[in-house]
Each structure stands twice: as structure tokens, then as C-alpha cells.
Amino acid sequence: MDIKSIVSKDPIGEEVEVKGWVRTFRSNRFIALNDGSTSKNLQVVIDFENMDESLLKRVTTGACIHVAGKITESLGAGQSVELAAVSLEILGDANADVYPLQPKKHSLEFLREIAHLRPRTQTFGAVFRIRHAMQFAVHKYFNDNGFFQVHTPIITGSDAEGAGEMFRVSMLDPENPPKTEEGEINWKEDFFGKETNLTVSGQLEGELFAMGLGKIYTFGPTFRAENSNTTRHLAEFWMIEPEVAFNDLFDNMDLAEDCLKYVIKYALENCMDDLELLAKRQEDEEKQLSQDKRTIPLLEKLQFVADNEFVRCSYTDAIDILKNSKPNKKKKFNYFIDEWGADLQSEHERYLVEKHFGKPVILYDYPAKIKAFYMRLNDDGETVRAMDILFPGIGEIVGGSQREERYDVLKKKIEEFDIEEESMWWYLDTRRFGTCVHSGFGLGFERLISFVTGMNNIRDVIPFPRTPKSAEF
């Protein structure tokens, strides 16, 4: 029986067998045992007077054990039931002199260095159980709403964002690549016969399927060769990207808001033990901070999003609000807002959500110059049908748009963005044959998990973070 079943059902009087890892062993009598199924430990009570002393010496933090016995009511504080052990077997020893996860407080930085062991900690056990639940919730939401999942390619010849920050995929000899007569690398000699990269987004390919299946979504790994060592960036991360035929920008907003509320409510309804543990952790971490520097308590923040209608505000109105805000007038923003066309930073996004509106915010109709080529140009010729959803604590969590469905306009934008038209022939074809209004958005999965768990560093919500100069494990 797993420990989650025992602590949730209190099967007093039942004889059970449990396997797990020792968290602590105190007074030569009480073992705190955890098998990963829950954040709660099971207290195992040892009759040390009738158990082999040499065996008990091997019961150390980190050791893997098999215990059999009877579930009894606990007389001690902290648990309702405990396991009175009648037999104990060591499945795997853990030398206390070298095992890094001793029962003391470890920094998150240290735990990143031993990412192969951090799932055994309370904090990371909770984070990764929630990560699983959120994956399930995402798939359930889209399946229940008639979407089809599409596996878009990880190796691609296109750059969806036009960013150029991509990881190259090549089989050419880096020491002696084949050259053209002009002395340039001859990519025709490479494995795919052209230059290819790891994908930055499944969106473009997703659009193709939306134009045949109606409602689709992708959920897969994406890659950015961006040399950013920050708490918000990863070189490898997961993206959720729905695309819907016949949806305009406002339909897109409705879908994104509904999806976010669904998955957050799912966490509140199904992950409360883990959320309470993480909420307590956040509270303890922020005790030494002044009140104005503390973040919104975790459960309150999640309920805030679940309960509030998202405010919809145009980029132009947002700029006016920010220009006239006290932090901007007193030059307390790190990035001063003085004119229309500025690319909003996290501090501006958080001000709009947390200070001005007091609700999640959807900004829309951004300047065309700061957005991607595939976004539909508005009649003013200056803005595009783009939207970003802003949350408390983290700022942008979703970016999306109504896609440019007009062949001539899209062709011109590809040219303006200096994208090779020949490489986008298949994308343009969908505008030549039966084009229609369609929209979609991207939700960074790790950013969602950061929000739900309250973990401030995105490297702590993915099992094995890939960052500049770091590809361990």
C-alpha cells in the first residue's frame, strides 16, 4: 500500500507492507518514511529492543527500506496513524557520512547541483507531483473541449519567432564542413539537405492542422539559444499552444482565460496537501522581508486568479496608465515609460495587475514593430491583433494573437521581417487555399508551474534545467 492511501484513509487495524525512503530516524524508535506518493510522511514505530541492533544502524536518512506491520492510532502529535513495525528490511543503504540530503535546511542552489536527488525532498516532491497534475489537467481540458493534440516537429527548418536564437542541428564535420564555390557552408550536404534547428515553437505547424481539424493543441519541448542566466529563462522548456480555426482575437482571450482558470482550479481541488506545504515554505522564506516586499500568499494568489474576471485593456490605454502612474512620474521604474511603442517589462506588467487593476489583465493590440510577423495587422497599419495575459507575481504568462490570414498582407510582412519566402511556401499555401480567420496562444508550462507552486526560479520547476554552461544529468 502506498503512503498516500494510508494517511488519507487511516486504515486502523490493517496489516500493511510499505516501501520507501527514510527521511529521519530518531530515538532509535521513530522512522519518518516517504515513498513519493504524498508530501506527508508515515511514522513507523520500531520495537528496538526486539530488533537486530546491526540492522537498526543501517536505518539512516536516505536509506530505502521495506516495512511490514499493523496500522495503529497515533498517540503522538503530527499524525493520526502510525505503522507498528513487525519486520524491517534494508533494500538500499545510504552512508550517512556522504549522503548529501541530511535532515537539515538545504538551499535551492545546492539542490540544483544534485538534481538527481532533489525529488526526494519535501519541496521538490510537491513541485513535481503538481507538475504532473497540471499536465493531466491541460490534456483533460483540451480533450473535454473537443481539441486534438498534434505532435509538431522538434527539428525544424523555420524560425517561428523570427528571433534567430536557435540551436542548430547538423551532422556536418565542424572541423571541416563542405563548402560552396563561394566559400560558404554547403548545407545541401547536411543530413536534411538544408539548415535545420531545434524548434522554438510548434505554432506554425499547429496552424496547418487547425486549418483542417478545426481545434488543435500542441504540448511539447521548445528550445531557445538565448544566453540569459535569469530566474525566468531556460534553454529547454515545454509549451502548450492551441490553435483554433474561425476564432478571432476575443475568442482567443476567452479560451485562454477559461483554460487558465480550469487548470488552476484543478490544482486547488486536487493538490491541496502539496500546495499547503509550498505555501508554508513561501511564508517561512518571506518572514524576514518587510511587508511591502512580500508576495501574495500562494493559496490566496491562486484563488485570486480563479475567482476574478480578467480585465481587458488595449496596449495604448496601458501606456497612458503607466505614463501617468506614480512609479513612472517618480522614476521608480527601472524602465521609464515616455512614449507609445515601448516594449513593456515585467515591472510594468505587475504594476497593472497588482496595483492599478487588482485583477489579472489581458493586454491587446500591440505595436506591430515589437511583435512577430504572423500576427494580423489592424486597419490602423500600426498595431497587430496580439494579446498577452498578465498574472500577479510573474507578469506575462500567455502570449497569443489572431493570425494574419490574408495572403498578400502575410507575404509582405514576411518580406519586411527579412524572412526567406521560399522557406515559408507551405505556410503561405494555407492562405492561398481556403484561408480563414484563426487564432492561438502559447502558454509556457514552466511559467505556469512557477505560478502555481510559488517557486521563484524557473529552474526549480523542471526536472533537469538546461541553461547556459549547464547541461548536467
H-type helices in 145-287, by residue range?
A: 203-213, 249-270, 272-285
Do 452 and 310 share a structural domain? yes
State which amino acid sits at residue 231.
T
In this structure, what C-alpha cell is assigned to residue 443?
A: 502558454
Residue 359 lies in a domain: yes
Do 389 and 242 share a structural domain? yes
Do 301 and 291 share a structural domain? yes
Strand order in the sheet with 168-169: 155-156, 196-198, 168-169
Do 129 and 96 share a structural domain? no
Distance from C-alpha of 200 to C-alpha of 412, rounded to nearest angstrom: 23
Residue 108 lies in a domain: no
Do 180 and 129 share a structural domain? no
- For residue 258, give Cα distances in angstroms to 188, 254, 306, 390, 414: 46, 6, 10, 14, 32
Residues with Cβ within 8 Å of 59's Cβ and at least 6 positions away in sequence, in order, are: 22, 25, 31, 46, 65, 88, 90
Give the pairing type, strands 215-223 and 311-314.
Answer: unpaired
Residues with Cβ within 8 Å of 297's Cβ and at least 6 positions away in sequence, in order, are: 279, 282, 283
Decide: 92 and 58 in contact? Cβ < 8 Å.
Answer: no
Decide: 170 and 189 in contact? Cβ < 8 Å.
Answer: no
The residue range of the domain holding 305 is 122-165+200-460
Residue 111 lies in a domain: no
Residues with Cβ within 8 Å of 325's Cβ and at least 6 positions away in sequence, in order, are: 351, 355, 356
Residue 8 lies in a domain: yes
Do 304 and 230 share a structural domain? yes
Decide: 43 and 31 in contact? Cβ < 8 Å.
Answer: yes
Secondary structure (3-state) at 339 = coil
CATH number, domain at 25? 2.40.50.140
Residues with Cβ within 8 Å of 186's Cβ and at least 6 positions away in sequence, in order, are: 177, 178, 179, 180
CATH number, domain at 375? 3.30.930.10
Do 204 and 76 share a structural domain? no
Residue 383 lies in a domain: yes
State which amino acid sits at residue 171.
M
Residues 402-459: tens digit of each pLDDT: 999 999 999 999 999 988 888 899 999 999 999 999 999 999 999 999 999 999 999 9
Residue 262 lies in a domain: yes
Percent of the chain that is helix, strand, coil (3-state, to 5): 35, 25, 40
Do 251 and 232 share a structural domain? yes
Per-residue pLDDT of the chain (473 residues; tens, 9 = 90+): 899 999 999 899 999 999 999 999 999 999 999 999 999 999 999 999 888 999 999 999 999 999 999 999 998 778 899 999 999 999 999 999 999 999 889 999 999 999 999 999 999 999 999 999 999 999 999 999 999 999 999 999 876 665 568 999 999 999 999 999 999 999 999 999 999 999 999 999 999 999 999 999 999 999 999 888 888 889 999 999 999 999 999 999 999 999 999 999 999 999 999 999 999 999 998 988 888 788 889 999 999 999 999 999 999 999 999 999 999 999 999 999 999 999 999 899 999 999 999 999 999 999 999 999 999 999 999 999 999 999 998 889 999 999 999 999 999 999 999 888 888 999 999 999 999 999 999 999 999 999 999 999 999 999 999 999 989 88
- Of 391, 381, 441, 450, which is closest to residue 416 (Cα–Cα)? 381
Residue 212 lies in a domain: yes
Residues 370-396: tens digit of each pLDDT: 999 999 999 999 999 999 999 998 889
Please tell me whether the overall predicted TM-score, pTM, comes out greater than 0.85 for this model: yes
Decide: 60 and 23 in contact? Cβ < 8 Å.
Answer: no
Residue 94 lies in a domain: yes
Residue that terminates a domain, selected from 60, 75, 103: 103
- For residue 429, give Cα distances in angstroms to 140, 184, 225: 32, 30, 29
Do 148 and 85 share a structural domain? no
Do 452 and 326 share a structural domain? yes
Do 316 and 221 share a structural domain? yes
Do 281 and 188 share a structural domain? no
> How many domains in the chain?
3
In this structure, what C-alpha cell is assigned to residue 143?
A: 480533450
